[in-house]
């Protein structure tokens, strides 16, 4: 558990003793953060920590504005705190994010930050004016005394802004992995679309580029002339490296490239020979992966890919007259589309300890 006294700078309490400011609190919980601490509960926790009245609604010296919202990257809750003087001058701000599935786990950190902000010592601009010193009595100058030299007044320097102590030690980046699946479609053979399904794995290691792996399987029947019917099942396996994502709120877009291998299996009825067969082709693939975060560990995805290979596969048969006929042929360029839901997990979340 973090100790509150370990987070105040040395001497801060002594400097502010006897002249603590009364604070007016503006507390806002945005959509998604309704389970976070309410304003009245936050006031009680802070005044319990500081062991004195802190907040008021009139005759206040300061205004503290707090906004809490749900964060997508990393998934958790973010609190933005800004302290203003009675004249509206900013005195300091704090923006913290806590990785947590439930806002109750972030309550302690938010309350601690709120107590530190509310208890900042007064700045020189806020301090009451010093009492006036009565003028000294005038004494007649001594005879033949040397007139005193005028000493220039020291140059006035603006008071430095208040320094906020670090709230929490920086957290080490955590690796993130997502596994999901959903329906898919691909144009494996020329001028036709085959339905199927895709399994996708997105791995975001700490300190390295994201990696994508996936399996896409499709199957489709094909009717040929002379009452012949065939099936083509295709399964592609890929491994790709991705650029850092473009992110905006809950949306993230990944661009990935890498090799892929597709295994084709064909079979049918009404053929005189070669009723079944398999073949594999090797090529490359470019993929766009769009992630939409809907929960702390759940996101929806849509992905579009284009695979290319110089190899093609023909499904052929021999007619009754002995001639070789081509039933259908795979395409060297295979576009695909998939939609689905994925589940996220963080492999490591290490935090330091306050001292």
The pLDDT value recorded for residue 297 is 85
The pLDDT value recorded for residue 7 is 38
Kindly report the pTM of this predicted structure: 0.53
Low-confidence ranges of the chain (pLDDT < 50): 1-18, 129, 168-172, 349-355
Residue with tokens 């319990």: 48
The pLDDT value recorded for residue 135 is 60
CATH number corresponding to 176-346: 2.40.160.20
CATH 3.30.160, domain 10-118, yes or no: yes
Q: Beta-carbon neighbour count of residue 346 at 10 Å?
A: 17
Query: CA-to-CA distance for 107 and 130, rounded, in angstroms?
Result: 40
Q: What angle do CA 190, 191, 195 make, to 5 degrees?
A: 90
Query: CA-to-CA distance for 203 and 305, rounded, in angstroms?
Result: 18
The pLDDT value recorded for residue 12 is 38
| 195 CA to centre of own chain | 33
CA dihedral over 315, 319, 324, 327, signed as positive or negative? negative
Q: Could you tell me the CA-to-CA distances from 126 to 16, 87, 149 in Å, in that order?
A: 12, 9, 35
Coil/strand/helix, residue 47: helix
The pLDDT value recorded for residue 225 is 59
The pLDDT value recorded for residue 136 is 58
The number of C-alpha atoms within 13 Å of 336 and in the hemisphere containing its C-beta is 35
Q: So where are the chain's domains?
A: 10-118, 176-346
The pLDDT value recorded for residue 351 is 43
Contact indicator for 250, 280 with CB cutoff of 8 Å: no
The pLDDT value recorded for residue 350 is 46
258 by Cβ neighbours in 10 Å (0-12 / 13-18 / 19+) ranks as middle
Same fold, 10-118 and 176-346: no
């Amino acid at each position: 558990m973090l100790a509150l006294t370990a987070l105040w700078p040395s001497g801060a309490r002594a400097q502010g003793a006897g002249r603590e400011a009364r604070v007016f609190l503006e507390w806002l919980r945005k959509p998604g953060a309704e389970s976070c601490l309410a304003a009245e509960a936050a006031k009680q926790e802070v005044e319990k920590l500081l062991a004195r009245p802190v907040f008021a609604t009139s005759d206040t010296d300061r205004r503290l504005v707090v906004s809490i919202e749900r964060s997508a990257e990393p998934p958790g809750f973010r609190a933005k705190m800004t302290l203003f003087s009675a004249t509206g001058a900013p005195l300091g701000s704090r923006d913290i994010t806590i990785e947590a599935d439930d806002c109750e786990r972030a309550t302690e950190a938010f309350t601690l930050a709120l107590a530190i902000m509310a208890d900042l010592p007064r700045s020189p601009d806020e301090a009451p004016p010093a009492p006036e010193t009565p003028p000294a009595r005038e004494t007649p100058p001594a005879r033949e005394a040397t007139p005193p030299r005028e000493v220039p007044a020291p140059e006035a320097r603006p008071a430095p802004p208040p320094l906020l102590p670090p709230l929490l030690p920086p957290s080490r980046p955590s690796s993130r992995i997502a596994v999901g699946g959903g329906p898919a479609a691909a144009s494996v053979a020329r001028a036709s679309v085959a339905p199927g399904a895709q399994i996708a794995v997105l791995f975001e290691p700490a300190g390295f580029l994201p990696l994508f792996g996936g399996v896409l399987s499709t199957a489709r029947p094909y009717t040929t002339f002379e009452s012949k019917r065939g099936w083509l099942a295709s399964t592609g396996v890929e491994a790709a490296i991705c650029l850092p994502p473009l992110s905006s709120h809950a949306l993230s877009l990944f661009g990935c490239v890498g090799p892929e291998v597709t295994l084709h299996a064909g079979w049918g009825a009404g053929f005189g020979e070669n009723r079944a067969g398999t073949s594999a082709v090797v090529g490359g693939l470019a993929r766009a992966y769009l992630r939409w975060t809907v929960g702390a560990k759940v996101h929806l995805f849509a992905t579009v890919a284009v695979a290319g290979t110089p190899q093609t596969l023909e499904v052929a048969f021999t007619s009754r007259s002995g001639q070789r006929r081509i039933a259908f042929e795979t395409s060297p360029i295979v576009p695909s589309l998939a939609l689905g839901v994925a589940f996220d997990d963080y492999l490591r979340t290490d935090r330091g300890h306050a001292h």
